[in-house]
Structure 1
Amino acid sequence: MLKKLKLRPLIILLVCLVVALSLLITDILISQHVTKTIKEDKEEKAKMIARIVAKDDIVRQGLMVEEQALDIQSYAADVLETTDVLFIVVMDMEGIRKSHPNEENIGRPFEGGDELEVLAGKESTSISQGTLVTSLRTFTPVYDDQENQIGAVAVGISLDRLEESVLASHGKLLIGSLLGLITGIIGAILIAAYIKRTLYGLEPFAIAKILQERDTMLQSVHEGIIAVDKEARIVLVNKSALAIFQKAGLKGNPVGMKVNEYMPSSRLDNVLATGTPELDEELEINGLSCLVNRVPLQVDGQIVGAISTFRDKTEVDLLAEQLTGVKSYAEALRAQSHEFMNKLQVILGMVRLKNYDELVGFINETVQNRHKEIGVVTTNIENPVLSGFILGKLSYARESGVELTIQTETKIPETFSSDTIHELITILGNLIDNAIEAVKNSDRKKVDVTLSLKEDTLTILVEDTGSGIGDMVLKNIFSKGYSTKGPNRGYGLFLLKKSVDKLGGTVVVDTFQNKGTTFQIDIPYRGEQR
């Protein structure tokens, strides 16, 4: 039931219970203390009155001289009138009263049985009932000038009056407690409202549900996620991240550790310091290559942490390779379909004109060229993704009006590493695209691509008949974002150089003004043995 109780009434209820319990315990303790204090105060007051009366000469003379005994009653009545005690009784050593509020009791023995101790010379206090109501009694002995006891004085305080004093004090305590309870309720309402605003109006069970859902979502994400606080201490790691860490040889749960102690290459501390996101970058974790995004976490304009998402680059490369192959095949099929329709139109025209000799020659030439083109690629390049990619580029070149030739001086077998094929596609794609673009405005639109494999070294030679590359441009062609073709360009050759460096290869550029450009790429390449 408490689990579903809303936050505001729950806080008000708990605060009120705590305040009420605290006030109740305080009230009980203070009431006991006040009752004890009032009793002691009244007792001390009665004792002082008794001592004063016991030392008065009228009382002592009245106890020693019988003729002066009547003066005791008059004196005691005067004292009783000026105090709020119940009675003042003076008695001799036989316990015979010499004074009493009720004069009829003068000359009679003191009642209650609690006077024996004072007649023995000791002060005492007791609660007893005599001829009047039950009272608190204080007894003090009376001595003559030679310190011989000649009587005693009893001063009584009504217990009803004592109870009235206690109740009056207790009433004030109750008023104070009630005011405290009201203040506690108001404070509870204000605190509940403040907490509710702080929690964006959400109830505890709603917050718990959101946390469970968020945690489930984070753990279900295929990408690895790691988050740090503003002190660069790891506060969150999901299952995928732990799996990647274990794959890279990092053991244990890093939550609570400094990120640089667990993974020095994370660069999350740099994101915390600069507040600048780092997107789509590579990260090496003990030799395992990952694709990483790093973003600072900000609340009210203040950086409170940073989060990084990453994924094994092998999986990304494999997916990119598959997507590239599918796209290349689709592009090749589209271009071939378009080209086939054009040739069907030519054949239909020749049939209608009954130019059968020319028709036979056209068909034979088309079949031979197509067989030669496809045969060279599919026969000599054994990787289907790479061959499909090149066929797509052949179709793209024909659509662009560019003559693209593919030559393979040796067979290019499958490779052990899928990463190599991915990087090759990046290299070939950027080289061929740049070459096609370079010859679009040339009189002779020709691009030649030659592949050869010798002694585990793959050589890629791409030659175009474009206008060449100027010396100033040549110095910066591999710089990221550098381009003479407008904004948002200049990434192709940068990625090409990055892929070549990753494979441990080299790139050489020969360019001649108005004659063309040649790119030669040499990279290590180990094919599968068949």
Structure 2
Amino acid sequence: MFIREITHWFARRSFQNRIFLLILFTSTIVMLAITWYLTDITKERLHYQVGQRALIQAMQISAMPELVEAVEAHDLPRIKALIDPMRSFSDATYITVGNEKGQRLYHVNPNEIGKYMEGGDSDDALYNAKSYVSVRKGSLGSSLRGKSPIQDSTGKVIGIVSVGYTLEQLESWLNLQISSLLFPMALLLLVLLYCARRFSLHIKKQMLNMEPQQLSQLLIQQSVLFESVFEGLIAIDSQHRITAINQTARRLLNLSQPESELIGYAIHHIVLPEAFFYDAPQKNKKDEIVTFNQMKVIASRMAVIIDNQPQGWVISFRNKDDINTLSLQLSQVRQYADNLRAVQHEHRNLISTIAGLLFLKRYDNALALIQQQSESHQKVLDFISHNFRDHHLAGLLIGKYYRAKELGLELIFDPSSFVEHLPSSLSHNEWISIVGNLLDNAYNTTLLNREGSRQIECLINSEGNEVIIEVADQGCGIDENIRQHIFERGVTTHNNGDHGIGLWLVHSYVKQANGDIIVDNNNPFGTIFTLYIPFTREE
């Protein structure tokens, strides 16, 4: 029952305290075992050393010629005169001298003289002339004694010398030696307690201050979440080895192996090219268009930071084609809506003007206005349809032309613009995104500058080995502080938050097609964006 209560009490403690108590209990057991072992070794060594000391003293005393003569003559006063000085200098409890029969001739207690030695351990010395150590109980209690025979000149045993140390005296010496170990042992125990506390705190920190059951539940939840998300997820450690990969990632990368067989592999053995995983390890990447195993994806990379050092990364990615399909549909719908709105706005103003002229019966003026507008629009439409053979691009430019007029701007096409076809390194949707975002950016920045003109110039030409796209606005220009970061996601020259994506997309597509972007200042106001996108070798 007691053990069960202790077990229940222990189980209710926090994991940190359980670790501390377990280490404390183990350390205490180890310390007690070490103490017992040291005590036993010290006791054994002490008994051996004291026994040898008693034996040597007994042998030295028994060999004294004066003592031999005194024992032969049974001269008790002389024996006493010889032994008393020795006993005062010896640390032995007693020194006893006996005759050949074992009767005491000298003893620390005069009343014991004449009595037989007790303990029954004198026979080997008296009858076999041996010197030895024994432990027996005598008149002074149990003692460790060294015995040696007294022999005359012929070798005959005529007596015996016994030098003894009581076990109580040995116990006091043992306690003295053990007590000298108590302080270092106590200090060692305190050090162990401190280390146990620090270790338990370290374990708690490594477990994110959670209990094992909480950590287990979190891992299960994360595992379910890891497998349920729509995006592909790959976790790698600081050595770029795979530690986790979900089912979506394996499907998108055409990997047939289960997760257990992929864990531990270097990422460049599974996904190529590997530059996305190794470039700028301290920097996070977000929504970059890259190629994984010959498939275009939009990928992000987040570092796992522990103690201000990257200990791994989590890579999320999704099929670019899936996003492109939705993006294309949205951009087409938006483009159609913008075109219709711009045309509606333009025609509504024109119709209102014509209706007013007709009401005033100015028929000639109304007819002239109709012809003027028709010729102006038709000239631009003819230029676009003739010089831009790509229908998607032509449709975009027509919509942007009407959008400019709706905003009170003028989109001017360079006469040298001509596009027979566009490089296949980018899809139609990506080309539309590049041109559309450049023009939208030019419109927005031009509207912000009240000092500049309202003209936006556009040049698109594909007659050489590359496509050249140049858009010049009359806006406020780009601050030098952000010029180096203008193509980063979220960076914008506008105040409202609905910007910072367009130029980032343009830059991503241009780099994807191995092209270049040059940003220059326009005269007197604004910025010129020039793009160079090469044709592929097959084209």
TM-score, structure 1 as length reference: 0.62
Structure 1, 26-35 or 319-328: larger mean CA deviation: 319-328
> Contact 2:392–2:432 at 8 Å: present in 1 too?
no
What is the alpha-carbon distance in structure 1 between the residues aligned to residue 464 and residue 392 of structure 2?
Answer: 33
SS of structure 2 residue aligned to 1:129: strand
SS of structure 1 residue aligned to 2:116: coil
The alignment status of 1:241 with 2:249, answered yes or no, reads yes
What is the alpha-carbon distance in structure 2 between the residues aligned to residue 112 and residue 433 of structure 1?
Answer: 114
Match of 1:447 in 2: none
- Give the one of 166, 176, 179 matched to 1:158: 166
What is the alpha-carbon distance in structure 2 between the residues aligned to residue 467 and residue 80 of structure 1?
Answer: 124
Instruction: Describe the shift of the 1:144–1:331 C-alpha distance in structure 2 as closer, same or farther (beyond 3 A).
Output: same
Identity over aligned pairs, percent: 20
- Give the one of 209, 214, 232 matched to 1:224: 232
SS of structure 1 residue aligned to 2:35: helix
Q: Which amino acid aligns with 2:117?
A: F
Instruction: Describe the shift of the 1:299–1:180 C-alpha distance in structure 2 as closer, same or farther (beyond 3 A).
Output: closer
What is the alpha-carbon distance in structure 1 between the residues aligned to residue 504 and residue 318 of structure 2?
Answer: 26
Cα deviations by residue, 1:57-86 (Å, 9 ceiling, x for unpaired): 2221123234x3542233233322332323
Match of 1:105 in 2: 112
> Contact 2:242–2:267 at 8 Å: present in 1 too?
yes
Match of 2:100 in 1: 93
Instruction: Describe the shift of the 1:96–1:424 C-alpha distance in structure 2 as closer, same or farther (beyond 3 A).
Output: closer
* Structure 1 residues not aligned, in runs of 5+: 359-386, 403-419, 439-465, 502-520, 522-530
The alignment status of 1:79 with 2:68, answered yes or no, reads no
> Contact 2:233–2:317 at 8 Å: present in 1 too?
yes
The alignment status of 1:174 with 2:163, answered yes or no, reads no
The alignment status of 1:478 with 2:452, answered yes or no, reads no
Instruction: Describe the shift of the 1:272–1:296 C-alpha distance in structure 2 as closer, same or farther (beyond 3 A).
Output: farther
What is the alpha-carbon distance in structure 1 between the residues aligned to residue 335 and residue 321 of structure 2?
Answer: 21
Instruction: Describe the shift of the 1:251–1:267 C-alpha distance in structure 2 as closer, same or farther (beyond 3 A).
Output: farther
* Structure 2 residues not aligned, in runs of 5+: 1-8, 364-390, 407-423, 443-455, 479-485, 487-502, 516-534
> Contact 2:335–2:399 at 8 Å: present in 1 too?
no
Q: Which amino acid aligns with 1:235?
A: T
- Give the one of 259, 279, 296 matched to 1:289: 296
Match of 1:60 in 2: 68
Cα deviations by residue, 1:348-373 (Å, 9 ceiling, x for unpaired): 999xx9x9xx9xxxxxxxxxxxxxxx
Cα deviations by residue, 1:471-509 (Å, 9 ceiling, x for unpaired): 9x98798368x643366769779969989x9xxxxxxxx
Match of 1:510 in 2: none
The alignment status of 1:139 with 2:147, answered yes or no, reads yes
Instruction: Describe the shift of the 1:2–1:260 C-alpha distance in structure 2 as closer, same or farther (beyond 3 A).
Output: farther
What is the alpha-carbon distance in structure 2 between the residues aligned to residue 30 and residue 21 of structure 1?
Answer: 14
Match of 1:263 in 2: 271
Match of 2:529 in 1: none
Displacement, 1:432?
Answer: 8.8
Match of 1:312 in 2: 319
TM-score, structure 2 as length reference: 0.62
> Contact 2:271–2:292 at 8 Å: present in 1 too?
no
The alignment status of 1:35 with 2:43, answered yes or no, reads yes
Structure 1, 100-109 or 202-211: larger mean CA deviation: 202-211
What is the alpha-carbon distance in structure 1 between the residues aligned to residue 356 and residue 187 of structure 2?
Answer: 107
Displacement, 1:245?
Answer: 2.2
The alignment status of 1:114 with 2:121, answered yes or no, reads yes
Cα deviations by residue, 1:413-459 (Å, 9 ceiling, x for unpaired): xxxxxxx9x94455567779999999xxxxxxxxxxxxxxxxxxxxx
Match of 2:135 in 1: 127
> Contact 1:389–1:425 at 8 Å: present in 2 too?
no
Instruction: Describe the shift of the 1:470–1:159 C-alpha distance in structure 2 as closer, same or farther (beyond 3 A).
Output: closer
Question: Number of paired residues?
Answer: 427
Instruction: Describe the shift of the 1:345–1:39 C-alpha distance in structure 2 as closer, same or farther (beyond 3 A).
Output: same
Instruction: Describe the shift of the 1:475–1:277 C-alpha distance in structure 2 as closer, same or farther (beyond 3 A).
Output: farther
SS of structure 1 residue aligned to 2:264: coil
Cα deviations by residue, 1:147-187 (Å, 9 ceiling, x for unpaired): 23222212222122122222222333334322322333344
> Contact 2:207–2:215 at 8 Å: present in 1 too?
no
> Contact 2:61–2:161 at 8 Å: present in 1 too?
yes
Match of 2:21 in 1: 13
Instruction: Describe the shift of the 1:496–1:192 C-alpha distance in structure 2 as closer, same or farther (beyond 3 A).
Output: closer
SS of structure 2 residue aligned to 1:171: helix
Q: Which amino acid aligns with 1:317?
A: N
Q: Which amino acid aligns with 1:101?
A: V
